[in-house]
Amino acid sequence: MRVIGTAGHVDHGKSTLVRALTGIDPDRLAEEKAREMTIDLGFAWAKLPSGETVGIVDVPGHRDFIENMLAGVGGIDAVLLVIAADEGVMPQTREHLAILDLLGVQHGLVALTKTDLVDDPAWLELIEHDIHDTLADTSLAEADIVRVSARTRAGLDTLFDRLAALLDEMPPRADYGSPRLPIDRIFTISGFGTVVTGTLLGGAVRVGEEVEIQPAGLRGRIRGLQSYKQTVDTAEPGSRVAVNVSGVDKRAVGRGDVLTYPGQLQATTLIDVRFRHLKDAGRPLKHNAEVKFFSGAAESVAHVRLLDVDELPPGQEAWLQLRLETPLALAQGDRFILRYPSPSQTIGGGGIVNPHPARRWKRFQADILDQLATRMNGTPAERLAQTARVPEKRSALQKHLGYNTADFEAAVHDGLAQGLLVELPGGELLARGAWDALMRHMLDELRAFHRTAPLRLGMSREELRSRLGLKGATLNALLDMQSEIVAEGERLRLADHAIRFDSAQQSRAAALRQQIAAAPYAPPSFAEAAQLAGEDVVYALIELGEIVAVQPDIIFSRAAYDELVSAILEMIDRDGSVTASGLRDRFNTSRKYAIGLLEHLDSVGITRRAGDARVRGHRSR
């Protein structure tokens, strides 16, 4: 499926030409018909000799409606640049051409219209020469010129054949399995509800699928699909599509919103871009300038941050960070246009390099500029590594980059072979630089923990996971792939860390051991132990395994605990069960210690309560 757009001056007969080619009047509004002027986007279509249907977006030509024009050209494959033979290249045509060049539209034809009004062949040659000169430094430099007349239909067959040949030579629209429909029209149909239209990119959509409309995050389901007035079950990428969405109110949707799969796009208000300033912009672009931003069918006021220059002269390029006043659903690689709001003027455009930068960048930071350059100009493997700053699944990274499956797998292969990527045990990918940074962060966190708590064996997994902001599975994968951190149960420590008492702590620990040994089955409480030896020493002895805390305030020496557990199991095997009173009498202890110990053994599965007694638990064998 293909979509072409018309462009050119308002008086060059774009709509008339579209009507002559397709039999469809693209002007929908009464005002457009009355004024004979395209004001908003118009749509038509035609069937090519190959049987494929080509959609046509007829955009306004008048400078008063240039922003409507921008909403229509974002998803086109090729352009039909319409220039009248009796007028030649006009200023508005040049602005349209500049926009097409900035958007990277590389395929197109020039329709030299109204040739029936010109009798002088020399004049036509002069106009064509001027057109070639105008196109020379643009993405349409190789575009053919076809002389036509919508009134007499001269040249229309040739134009149609050339257009068909041009589209046949172009590769098919890629299907990445991640559809995006930038919405350019919204309306309702009685009995059906909300309908949104646009040019489908990135993947197919199907009736019955759940979809999301960003940036609002509205969820709905596809109730019906039409493409070129034909009801379809599946709409293919590259086609004009009307989507009947159930569960979404028309009033909640606006031009520039994007229909996609749930969770596939996130709205953003901060983007990193590569910007080309037009030569005829008139004045340098200043830091903090207010501009209007256009991408796809969306627009927003934006504020410019110049990252690598003090100010940007016309004709130059620079890295910008744009702060959008309105959240927009944007993706890496999307093209954009900037205009001054007053007086209205197109000043340049380019491509979105990072739709979700981590923060507002400081200016003139060499490392940030290098990262942006890699994102834009690096090899596929380098761009993949630049994108994989946190552990992500392959499918998510492929969507971020917009690669087809073959190109993505090649990038993964090269990235792993070149040491740019690390593959985690769960299949997630992470840039080597990000891996190294994570490892340094883990080691630094543990060093700091050992420094502030030298008598603790280590940090809990959950605490380290929280400090690093990782998923538990990701942390476990990272730990499995290194040797500097030792995991002991739920505790993590550096391999060279050990609990070491100084002389004063050793003395207090010895005194506590002596007091516990004096009454092994009725030892001091935790609070009493902490008062004698210090809380840090008691915790250290617990982590070292010398002391077992069975309740918050009940502790036993390891030797006494093991003896008690062994005796309890013997009593159960001999008598069938054990009670708190029986345990109390056997060891001449108190009911407090007996009940506290049995409740602890219940919790760890060594015993199991049966009425007032205990029997063996599932972990006692």
DSSP-assigned letter for residue 392: B
Dist. CA 565–CA 582, nearest whole Å: 14
Q: Are residues 290 and 206 part of one domain?
A: no
Biggest CA pair distance of the chain: 123
Q: Please give the pLDDT value at position 36.
A: 43
Q: Are 183 and 211 in contact (CB under 8 A)?
A: no
Task: Tell me the residue ranges of DSSP E strands in 151-233.
Answer: 180-189, 193-199, 205-206, 210-214, 218-227, 230-232
Q: Which two tokens stand for residue 203?
A: 């993947």
Q: Are residues 550 and 485 part of one domain?
A: no
Cα–Cα distance list, 522 to 154, 416, 545, 592 (Å)? 109, 60, 19, 9
Pairing of strands 2-8, 78-84: parallel
Cα four-point dihedral sign 434, 440, 441, 442:
positive
Flag the least confident range among 65-69, 107-111, 356-360, 411-415. 65-69
Is the model's pLDDT at 389 over the cut of 70? yes
* Mean of per-residue pLDDT scores for the chain: 86
Q: Is residue 62 part of a domain?
A: yes
Q: Are residues 387 and 362 part of one domain?
A: no
Summarize pLDDT for 186-196 with one digit per residue, the tens.
Answer: 988 888 889 99
Summarize pLDDT for 428-466 with one digit per residue, the tens.
Answer: 899 998 888 888 998 999 999 888 888 888 888 899 988
Q: Are 72 and 41 in contact (CB under 8 A)?
A: yes
Is the model's pLDDT at 50 over the cut of 80? no
Summarize pLDDT for 91-147 with one digit per residue, the tens.
Answer: 888 888 888 888 888 888 898 999 988 888 899 999 999 999 999 988 889 999 999
Dist. CA 124–CA 253, nearest whole Å: 47
Tell me how crowded residue 291 is: count the other CB atoms within 10 A of its CB. 21
Nearest to 173 by CA among 100, 78, 46: 78
Domain boundary among 368, 388, 410: 368
Pairing of strands 108-113, 144-147: parallel
Q: Please give the pLDDT value at position 7.
A: 67
Q: Is residue 22 part of a domain?
A: yes
Q: Are residues 137 and 285 part of one domain?
A: no
Pairing of strands 345-354, 267-277: antiparallel
Task: Tell me the residue ranges of DSSP E strands in 412-490.
Answer: 421-423, 429-431, 459-460, 485-488
Residue 18's H or E segment, with its range, is helix 14-22
Amino acid identity at 105: V
Is the model's pLDDT at 395 over the cut of 70? yes
Summarize pLDDT for 562-571 with one digit per residue, the tens.
Answer: 999 999 999 9
Nearest to 569 by CA among 515, 608, 612: 608
Is the model's pLDDT at 324 over the cut of 70? yes
Task: Tell me the residue ranges of DSSP E strands in 313-359.
Answer: 317-329, 335-340, 345-354
Which residues have a Cβ under 8 Å from the Cβ of 53 and sit 6 or more positions away? 1, 45, 46, 47, 227, 228, 239
DSSP letter for each residue of 552-578:
TTEEEEHHHHHHHHHHHHHHHHHHS-B
pTM for this entry: 0.69
Q: Are residues 138 and 40 part of one domain?
A: yes
Tell me how crowded residue 91 is: count the other CB atoms within 10 A of its CB. 9
Nearest to 4 by CA among 147, 168, 136: 168
Q: What is the CATH number of the domain that holds 537?
A: 1.10.10.10
Tell me how crowded residue 302 is: count the other CB atoms within 10 A of its CB. 26
Q: Are residues 202 and 281 part of one domain?
A: no
Q: Please give the pLDDT value at position 27.
A: 58
Q: Are 99 and 5 in contact (CB under 8 A)?
A: no
Is the model's pLDDT at 548 over the cut of 60? yes
Dist. CA 264–CA 598, nearest whole Å: 52
Q: Are residues 187 and 162 part of one domain?
A: no
**Stretch 297-312: mean pLDDT, rounded?**
94
Q: Which two tokens stand for residue 83?
A: 């220039």
Name the band, by pLDDT with cuts 50, 70 and 90, for residue 65: very low
**DSSP bridge pairs for 317:** 276
Q: Is residue 373 part of a domain?
A: no
Q: Which two tokens stand for residue 349?
A: 């455009």
Summarize pLDDT for 554-593 with one digit per residue, the tens.
Answer: 999 999 999 999 999 999 999 999 999 999 999 999 999 9
Q: Please give the pLDDT value at position 119.
A: 87
Contacts 24+ apart (CB under 8 A), 466-474: 468/438, 468/441, 468/442, 470/391, 470/438, 471/391, 473/426, 474/391, 474/424, 474/426, 474/428
**Stretch 391-400: mean pLDDT, rounded?**
84
DSSP-assigned letter for residue 358: S
Is the model's pLDDT at 303 over the cut of 70? yes
Q: Which two tokens stand for residue 466?
A: 């929280």
Q: Which two tokens stand for residue 589?
A: 């202890």
Q: Is residue 621 part of a domain?
A: no
Q: Is residue 608 part of a domain?
A: yes
Q: Are 344 and 286 in contact (CB under 8 A)?
A: no
Burial (CB count within 10 angstroms: exposed 0-12, middle 13-18, buried 19+), residue 41: buried
Tell me how crowded residue 358 is: count the other CB atoms within 10 A of its CB. 9
Summarize pLDDT for 205-246 with one digit per residue, the tens.
Answer: 999 999 999 999 999 999 999 988 889 999 998 888 999 999
Q: Is residue 15 part of a domain?
A: yes
Q: Which two tokens stand for residue 306?
A: 């110049």
Domain that holds residue 229: 180-260
Domain boundary among 440, 470, 498: 498
Q: Are residues 478 and 583 part of one domain?
A: no
Q: What is the CATH number of the domain that holds 160?
A: 3.40.50.300
Q: Are residues 350 and 316 part of one domain?
A: yes
**Stretch 245-253: mean pLDDT, rounded?**
92
Mapped onto helix, strand or coil, the DSSP state of residue 414 is helix
Is the model's pLDDT at 62 over the cut of 50? no
Q: Are residues 154 and 37 part of one domain?
A: yes
Q: Apex CA 390: angle with CA 389 and CA 391, to 5°?
A: 125
Domain boundary among 236, 260, 284: 260
Q: Are residues 486 and 402 part of one domain?
A: yes
Q: Are 225 and 233 in contact (CB under 8 A)?
A: yes
Dist. CA 80–CA 603, nearest whole Å: 77
Q: Are residues 539 and 481 part of one domain?
A: no
Q: Residues in the chain, how many?
A: 621
Q: Please give the pLDDT value at position 69.
A: 65
Report which of residues 10 and 117 the model is more confident about.
Answer: 117
Q: What is the CATH number of the domain that holds 277?
A: 2.40.30.10
- Number of structural domains (the chain) is 5
Q: Is residue 174 part of a domain?
A: no
Name the band, by pLDDT with cuts 50, 70 and 90, for residue 516: very high
Q: Is residue 225 part of a domain?
A: yes
Tell me how crowded residue 438 is: count the other CB atoms within 10 A of its CB. 20
- Backbone phi, then psi, for 431, in 5-degree steps? -60, 140
Summarize pLDDT for 256-276 with one digit per residue, the tens.
Answer: 999 999 988 889 999 999 999
